Structure 1
């Protein structure tokens, strides 16, 4: 959770639990279907990366998912969406219980996504950049037939390079603007954000995807910020030079991905708006959740197919959303 500190630039706490779940179990945690639970919030862009990658790769059965309530307090994410306010598998009311089960003195962020070992009830990792890479590279034995290659060997240097600047200036850049504690810090974050969005517009004007001709990890990471832009970042975080819908190339690119199975069908705009506007009380003390924006534009034709590209490469689209994981129809234009 972010917060404003008067007079200071926003700095993200990046002290994550970096234990990895791998095919060979070298960190003590071996990939095993059903052993772990992926805890997410559909409101959180970092968690949404894992939700999308899990769905694209067809890991729904191998890695079951728990969805936290979009609204939390200082005691962390809770399972208020579940009957009795408890996760039905882990049996806990708040995610912090799984963190404290690992380390009773844990003093870092209680963040999502988090992967919990069901056997012990302990968080294994909340290292969100590594989680999605490991889903691609370590969980291959459990990928669906036709799963795309989101982090192909030959493109990794380019993907890593794009991800680095997108994280710094866009993914985290909107937070640096929204939680800036001084006019100077805000102005610098604002400048870097829109300079980078202009750079991305130029890059994507002639290329359907960020790296290569297929969807990769880079597209997933950019999408989760873009899909929240008009709903929360433009107004709530004061990233208001233009709306996404006023940036033609990025708007078409985002719609293209949204309309691709595995992307838009994971997005819950109600959760997104309620989280940002109700949790960030230092930014929005009235707790009023905006009624807009109109979501129908997400389904408008995007024309990006004219640029070529093969969304899933040699693979295939994921199948229907599994029962129990669908976003409520009223929370998405896809409904």
Structure 2
């Protein structure tokens, strides 16, 4: 995730490295298990999408993961969670090093998620939207038995349309609200955000999932914004018409996903809050990280089963995360 702050509004730096890793290797990078390393931060909603899709599809062994710490400076995400502050496979302290290995003159955002080619040490791609789609379509030979179809062919036009609206108004909308530099820019982003949340509530009132009867890419993309809403966006970004917990349909929908294997077990509220409240010092100059909100409500019954639907379709839930990838139990909201 990367951003710039113009004088009054906000514009995301979307100049991604769009090289793809494909089954046929047409961009020069064929799918090969163990060759690449997915670099994420548990704090970042864009990176968490890749973590969720990787878990749901069972790509943990085929696509190993490196976890950067929750904070970064102007230069880069760092591997301060690892011994000696270096990723044990890539041998680097900062993700920036992999970007500069690809292009010494690289002048864009040092973002996560990023996929690094281990033999060369170079970033292959940081195109977050394509990364998860390619996990579904290009890495299919390495999916686990029972992996769900997160991007079914018959539903792709509808999924793409929903994703476009959710990205513009919600995923990016919370940032346009939080980083606004004028009352006018803030008000416009605020109204657009909550108008879309109202429409999503109406859509989900009679449907368990956003598109079709199973979890799809669309649910993954919306979830990572909603799960952060009360912890950071409501207060820190002034998205405060209502908390998520005060929007009954969306609150139940997000709890339903949180309690679904592969979703809540990738959520680290400690990292999320540390990132937003410490890195955005222009918004929170005191550097105080709030203790709340109380996360215990995430495990309350949601009642969404009454709407039908099958989370994994004809597939099965993923196995629990390995001990090496499990989120530390820093809070009581741990889905079983």
Structure 2: 5+ residue stretches without partners: none
Q: Which residue of 2 aligns with 1:248?
A: 248
Q: Which residue of 2 aligns with 1:83?
A: 83
Q: Which residue of 2 aligns with 1:40?
A: 40
Q: Which residue of 2 aligns with 1:130?
A: 130
Q: Which residue of 1 aligns with 2:151?
A: 151
Q: Cα distance, 1:2 vs. partner?
A: 3.6
Q: Cα distance, 1:331 vs. partner?
A: 4.3
Secondary structure at 1:115 match in 2:
strand
Counterparts of 1:81-230 in structure 2, within 5 Å, are 81-230=81-230
Q: Which residue of 2 aligns with 1:29?
A: 29
Q: Is the 8 A contact 2:113 2:126 kept in 1?
A: yes
Secondary structure at 2:12 match in 1:
coil
TM-score by length of 1: 0.99
Secondary structure at 1:329 match in 2:
coil
Q: Which residue of 2 aligns with 1:56?
A: 56
Establish whether residue 322 from structure 1 lines up as the match of residue 322 from structure 2.
yes
Secondary structure at 1:234 match in 2:
helix
Q: How much is the aligned-residue C-alpha RMSD, in angstroms?
A: 0.9
Q: Cα distance, 1:247 vs. partner?
A: 0.0
Q: Which residue of 1 aligns with 2:233?
A: 233
Establish whether residue 14 from structure 1 lines up as the match of residue 7 from structure 2.
no
Q: Which residue of 1 aligns with 2:289?
A: 289
Q: Which residue of 2 aligns with 1:272?
A: 272
- After superposition, the C-alpha distances for 1:39-70 in whole angstroms (9 at most, x for unaligned) are 00000000000000000000000000000000
Q: Which residue of 2 aligns with 1:72?
A: 72
Measure the CA separation in 2 of the matches of 1:266 and 1:69. Answer: 14
Measure the CA separation in 1 of the matches of 2:61 and 2:310. Answer: 26
Q: Is the 8 A contact 1:146 1:314 kept in 2?
A: yes
TM-score by length of 2: 0.98
Measure the CA separation in 2 of the matches of 1:67 and 1:285. Answer: 26
Q: Is the 8 A contact 1:3 1:179 kept in 2?
A: no
Secondary structure at 1:77 match in 2:
coil
Measure the CA separation in 1 of the matches of 2:22 and 2:91. Answer: 26
Secondary structure at 1:321 match in 2:
coil
Measure the CA separation in 1 of the matches of 2:199 and 2:225. Answer: 16
Measure the CA separation in 1 of the matches of 2:297 and 2:124. Answer: 39
Q: Is the 8 A contact 2:295 2:331 kept in 1?
A: no
Q: Cα distance, 1:3 vs. partner?
A: 5.3
Distance 1:274 1:3, change over 3 A: farther
Measure the CA separation in 2 of the matches of 1:232 and 1:16. Answer: 26
Secondary structure at 2:330 match in 1:
helix
Q: Cα distance, 1:323 vs. partner?
A: 2.4
Q: Is the 8 A contact 2:21 2:29 kept in 1?
A: yes
Measure the CA separation in 2 of the matches of 1:323 and 1:48. Answer: 18
Distance 1:332 1:158, change over 3 A: farther
Measure the CA separation in 1 of the matches of 2:210 and 2:237. Answer: 25
Secondary structure at 1:67 match in 2:
strand
Q: Is the 8 A contact 2:214 2:311 kept in 1?
A: yes
Measure the CA separation in 1 of the matches of 2:313 and 2:175. Answer: 33
Measure the CA separation in 1 of the matches of 2:250 and 2:14. Answer: 28
Q: Cα distance, 1:8 vs. partner?
A: 1.5
